[in-house]
Amino acid sequence: MDTIKQWQLTAPDAEFTLVESDMPPIGESEALVKVAGCGVCHTDLSFWHYGVRTKKEFPLTLGHEISGTVVQGPAQLMGKNVIIPAVLPCGECELCRRGRSNICQHQRMPGNDFHGGFASHILVPHRYLCPVPDSILEKYALEELAVIADAISTPYQVVQKSELEPGDLAIVIGVGGVGIYGALIAKIMGARTLAIDISDDKLQIAQKHGIDAVLNSSNLDAKAIKSRVREIATELGASKYGWKIFEISGTAAGQSLAFSLLTFASTLSIVGFTMDKPDVRLSNLMAFDAKLIGTWGCKPELYPQVIDLIASGRLEIRDFVQTFRMSRINEVFQNALKHHYSKRPVLVPDFE
């Protein structure tokens, strides 16, 4: 194999174009991975449509939610099925040494710092590649597991950071491709879970998979929503204090709603991204002695824990993943932009 095939963007809002290029040289710290699947994330939509700038200039191959098989690299990884972490830290800097490798300032992100996973192959640093045990592949196809790289690992990290305890009320705002995993992981960790969304379809999926309560926030103001949340907390036997709120919709409306739900000793975690700026009164944090935290990706060190959740059967993922041929990338991006999918789209290479 002498070439790599990639679906590249030449500019924001342009169509993806199939490009074939020579295989780059493989360095000692790198591995060449044959892509099995690459998920379409809201971050990809932000790079493509919403004006968020990539680190590498266009033309660029997007895609950072990747599973695949190592075909060239160190002997211990040859032939291994792997997940490529969406954030690849250096492992040596101050932040990495302090256990904050997910925000390493020397990190490299596929589809942002270098060509990503909407391709036949991808060349990546091999240090943090996460092997996939064969036991999982008895139940899931490798391409389905691409969502571990971001859609599952990101909410896993933030649930941990929130210091959620069994019995807490976990409120997840936005239960799409990432939020549904946030709700499920909070449930696995022992929380009483409430999903809030404006889509009845997404809420029905959440309820079907064991989320304790759902609330459609359409046509309700913040005061009415908070009143209903208090009632739900009582119905679920959860405390009226210390709510763990996860904003995963990535909208200004969702962020404003999340902030309005703060109560005494609450923790609000911002997971979704938007360029919009909600208008909030930060003094509420002081008045409620509450916490506001962010999260970026997931530390590679946590990936084996995520894989264990799936391997053990505690976290089921198939109902939340939908695969498409990669040659349909332009259609899938347009449909994702219009919120036509209730499941995470994963593109599977179908090059000639």
Helix ranges restricted to H, the chain: 42-48, 94-97, 134-137, 153-161, 179-188, 200-208, 222-236, 252-260, 283-287, 303-311, 329-337
Backbone phi and psi for residue 106, each to the nearest 5 degrees, phi listed first: -110, 10
* Euclidean distance between CA atoms 225 and 233, whole angstroms: 12
Q: What is the secondary structure of 113-124 as a DSSP string?
A: TB--SSBSEEEE
Specify the DSSP element, H or E, that contains 91: none
Q: Note the pLDDT of residue 249.
A: 93
* Euclidean distance between CA atoms 70 and 266, whole angstroms: 43
120: three-class secondary structure by DSSP: coil
* Euclidean distance between CA atoms 106 and 103, whole angstroms: 9
* Euclidean distance between CA atoms 22 and 345, whole angstroms: 28
Please tell me whether the peptide bond between 278 and the residue prior to it is cis, using omega within 30 degrees of 0. no
- Amino acid, single-letter form, for residue 284: N
CATH number for the domain whose boundaries are 3-150+298-348? 3.90.180.10
CATH of 153-294 given 3.30.420.480, 3.40.50.300, 3.40.50.720, 3.40.50.2000: 3.40.50.720
Q: Note the pLDDT of residue 2.
A: 83
What ranges do the domains of the chain cover?
A: 3-150+298-348, 153-294
79: three-class secondary structure by DSSP: coil
pLDDT in tens, the chain (352 residues): 689 999 999 999 999 999 999 988 899 999 999 999 999 998 999 999 988 999 999 999 999 999 999 999 999 999 999 999 999 999 999 999 999 999 999 999 999 999 999 999 999 999 999 999 999 999 999 999 999 999 999 999 999 999 999 999 999 999 988 999 999 999 999 999 999 999 999 999 999 999 999 999 999 999 999 999 999 999 999 999 999 999 999 999 999 999 999 999 999 999 988 888 888 999 999 999 999 999 999 999 999 999 999 999 999 998 899 999 999 999 999 999 998 988 899 999 998 7
Nearest of 152, 126, 8 to residue 68 by alpha carbon: 126
Nearest of 16, 19, 91, 109 to residue 55 by alpha carbon: 109
- Report residue 188 as tokens: 């696995």
